Structure 1
Amino acid sequence: MAKENVLPELKRRIKEGQTGGIFLFYGEERYLKDFYLGKLKEAIPDGSFAEFNHVFLDGKSLAFDQVDDAVESFPVMSDRKLVCIKDSGAFKAPGEEVKQYWMHRLKTLPQEVTLVFDETEVDKRSATYKAAAKAGLAVEFSYMKEYELVNWVERAAMRAKKRITKENAQYFVSICDEGLSTLSQELDKLLNYCGEEILRSDIEKVVSKSVGVKVFELTEQMMAKDAGKALQVLNDLKTAKEPVFKLLYLLFSTFDKMLRCKLMLAEGAGFAEVAEQAGIAGFLVQKYAAGAKRFGEAYLVERLLRICEIDLAIKEGMTEDWPALERFVLDSVQHG
């Protein structure tokens, strides 16, 4: 069964105990995949023989006979068994031998077996994906949208008998890394620290900001022409052992979003349209727009090209990474 949104169907099957057959979980949202895999484990008791009835296999180093052994061996002291394969690679451009094996295996799954594929990426055009989706349930777990994350935070705070304003929930979401795993960990820290209400000051004291947010802060100091603070942010990133290539990528992304904001707003687009087209969270568009006003269009284009030049120079051994990045920051402060 392959549809754009099959999560309600997955919930229904788990609730009604219809957990047999094939489940293909894919996407970048690890937290939700783990959550629903846990629900399937609960729905398929191991009969106190987890080693035999709950089998987890690493697809990256998996032989076909291991799959056959796991699938074809009978459950022990139970009428069901769960077999989960992580990152099999069977659904993203598999070789002919792999393709033929899985096309056959998917058609010959014993009734007592629940087979779960835990994949990061799939190719929906592949024959194996289509076969798995037709025979079972293919569920995509993408990162949630901004408003969904904000609602999730508000509900979690309510369950903990805490209050948080929508504005503070939006700010909290905006400074965390993508994904519910990080968001959940940071929210736990926050709930344990705060009083009856989660305040902005609590968020500032407790929550670890994402690298992307720190890079945006770096560009803010560039815009403010504050070399001291800009270099301090950069030094903090260096101390945290963040890779230079990652920082260059994030700087490129930040300047690129500023340029897009500038061009789209100049053409009369509203903030909502800019957010959708440029891939910027709605509550961050105004910050990018403000940054775009402080940099000229030509300068933003030049900075983007300069980042590409630095990236290439480092890779070709023509310059050292951190000194090159520091020079870029100082040059941006002096000539922005």
Structure 2
Amino acid sequence: MAKKQEENGFSALKQSLKTGELGRLYIFSGEESYLRMHYLGECKKAIIGDSPFAEFNLFEFDGKSMSPDQLRDAIESYPAMAERKLVIVHDFDLYKMPAAFSEFLPALLADLPEYICLIFHYDVIECKPDKRLKIHQVLSKAGTFVSFEHLDERQLVDWIRRRFRALDRGIDDDTARYLIFLCGTSMTNLITEIEKAAAFCTTGTIKRYHIDTVCTKVLDAVVFDLSDAITERRFDKAIALVNDLLAQKNPEVVIFSTIARHMQRLYAAKLNESARGSEKELLSLLGSASPYYAKRIRSAAHKLPESWLRQSVLLCGQTDAALKSSAADKQKLIELALLEMAAGLERS
């Protein structure tokens, strides 16, 4: 129900921006920082615009250093030569507010002036609503929760094509999905990779080799390459990839956790194949919403023995526990696990 309300909140926000009738109270949160910052900017344009009195009608506070008086004064003072004013509070935890705020804030939020648009923006800290608290009842009644989550694959492909089109470059759907597979679903990160690929491309149409040449792979994509190296009996390449990840300051535990998760997904895809499961069932097993990713996993798993995948998953569990509890050389533990996987594949 909470997710449904947040989805409705996003739709309500877009509709309010379209009609120019923003509400009085919003709570912005979610993993997709690009969308959060974009809609904060849209709210600023809607309320403040290019008014010469912008500095008097736009207040932004850091939740950690904001005082009760600062927030109260910003809300209770009238707009300067304008109908409305905008107050944005970054990273203030409404569900764990200091006593000085809890004494007055719930009542103030329940009866905000008509001229106020107040946005609590959860950026670094996570929004964890607690329905048991009085403040949650106030927020639910007086405000709108808006959760900015990663777009699904279809939406992201359309967005990527629009971004490339704005740079006078074309890209087909399959290549756009390949870009997502390699560079992840973060729109903030993808903007940089899109600009790099567009700058490198001189033909007008983005191809895979443009992406492979200049774009930076996310950890999951590198681990995909690493598992391919093992199954292709290229142990030297697998170790080189681990060394590259370590050189990029990725913690050993994070690297191996990603490897373990990847092996679990390969095993899940193999079991799905053996059971003649559907794509929908596979997506559920993988915890993914990307048909393209599921296709890549299924294709990789098809070539591998089920017994080897099962043993590799068990080995990953043992190594992961050792990494988190042992004082041994963590890089050596990872290398030994990869070596044992490679040897197991030779025996199977």
Q: Please, what TM-score do these two structures have when normalized by structure 1?
A: 0.89
Distance of aligned partners of 1:94 and 1:262 in 2 relative to their CA distance in 1, 3 Å threshold = farther
Shift of 1:7: 2.8
Mapped partners of 1:231, 1:219: distance in 2 = 11
Distance of aligned partners of 1:178 and 1:121 in 2 relative to their CA distance in 1, 3 Å threshold = farther
Mapped partners of 1:207, 1:130: distance in 2 = 46
Distance of aligned partners of 1:65 and 1:297 in 2 relative to their CA distance in 1, 3 Å threshold = farther
Query: Which string of whole-angstrom CA distances, capped at 9 and with x for unpartnered residues, describes residues 12-37 of structure 1?
Result: 21122212400111111111111110
Distance of aligned partners of 1:3 and 1:286 in 2 relative to their CA distance in 1, 3 Å threshold = closer
Shift of 1:171: 0.6
Mapped partners of 2:65, 2:277: distance in 1 = 50
Query: Is 1:165 aligned to 2:158, yes or no?
Result: no
Alignment partner, residue 150 of structure 1: 157
**Per the alignment, in what secondary structure is the counterpart of residue 145 of structure 2?**
strand
Alignment partner, residue 297 of structure 2: 288
Mapped partners of 2:100, 2:271: distance in 1 = 50
Alignment partner, residue 145 of structure 2: 138
Distance of aligned partners of 1:268 and 1:99 in 2 relative to their CA distance in 1, 3 Å threshold = farther
Alignment partner, residue 30 of structure 2: 27
Alignment partner, residue 118 of structure 1: 121
Shift of 1:96: 8.3
Mapped partners of 1:232, 1:300: distance in 2 = 22
Q: Which letter does structure 1 place at the counterpart of 2:229?
A: Q
RMSD: 2.6
Alignment partner, residue 261 of structure 1: 269
Query: Which string of whole-angstrom CA distances, capped at 9 and with x for unpartnered residues, describes residues 63-106 of structure 1?
Result: 43332233223434444221111222214x76888666542231
Q: Which letter does structure 2 place at the counterpart of 1:39?
A: E
Mapped partners of 2:9, 2:185: distance in 1 = 22
Query: Is 1:215 aligned to 2:218, yes or no?
Result: no
Distance of aligned partners of 1:95 and 1:333 in 2 relative to their CA distance in 1, 3 Å threshold = farther
Distance of aligned partners of 1:116 and 1:223 in 2 relative to their CA distance in 1, 3 Å threshold = same
Native 8 Å contact 1:2 1:138 kept in 2: yes
- Aligned mate of 2:18, from 15, 18, 22: 15
Alignment partner, residue 45 of structure 1: 48
Shift of 1:43: 1.4
- Aligned mate of 1:329, from 313, 328, 338: 338
How many aligned residue pairs are there?
A: 335
Mapped partners of 2:280, 2:259: distance in 1 = 23
Mapped partners of 2:129, 2:314: distance in 1 = 33
Distance of aligned partners of 1:68 and 1:145 in 2 relative to their CA distance in 1, 3 Å threshold = same
Greater CA deviation, 217-226 or 184-193? 184-193
Greater CA deviation, 105-114 or 207-216? 105-114
Distance of aligned partners of 1:316 and 1:278 in 2 relative to their CA distance in 1, 3 Å threshold = closer
Mapped partners of 1:153, 1:316: distance in 2 = 42
Shift of 1:245: 1.5
Greater CA deviation, 61-70 or 247-256? 61-70
Native 8 Å contact 2:48 2:86 kept in 1: no
Alignment partner, residue 312 of structure 2: 303
Distance of aligned partners of 1:333 and 1:97 in 2 relative to their CA distance in 1, 3 Å threshold = farther
Mapped partners of 1:6, 1:334: distance in 2 = 53
Mapped partners of 2:326, 2:284: distance in 1 = 39
Shift of 1:124: 6.6
Greater CA deviation, 240-249 or 39-48? 39-48
Mapped partners of 1:59, 1:299: distance in 2 = 51
Greater CA deviation, 259-268 or 124-133? 124-133
**Per the alignment, in what secondary structure is the counterpart of residue 8 of structure 2?**
coil
Greater CA deviation, 204-213 or 122-131? 122-131
| Unpaired stretches in structure 1, ≥5 consecutive residues | none
Query: Which string of whole-angstrom CA distances, capped at 9 and with x for unpartnered residues, describes residues 200-252 of structure 1?
Result: 11111121111110011111111112111111111111111111121122112
Mapped partners of 2:285, 2:100: distance in 1 = 41
Mapped partners of 1:3, 1:321: distance in 2 = 42
% identical equivalent positions? 27
Alignment partner, residue 74 of structure 2: 70
Alignment partner, residue 190 of structure 1: 197
Mapped partners of 1:105, 1:239: distance in 2 = 51
Q: Please, what TM-score do these two structures have when normalized by structure 2?
A: 0.86
Distance of aligned partners of 1:175 and 1:130 in 2 relative to their CA distance in 1, 3 Å threshold = farther
Mapped partners of 2:274, 2:102: distance in 1 = 50
Native 8 Å contact 1:225 1:334 kept in 2: no
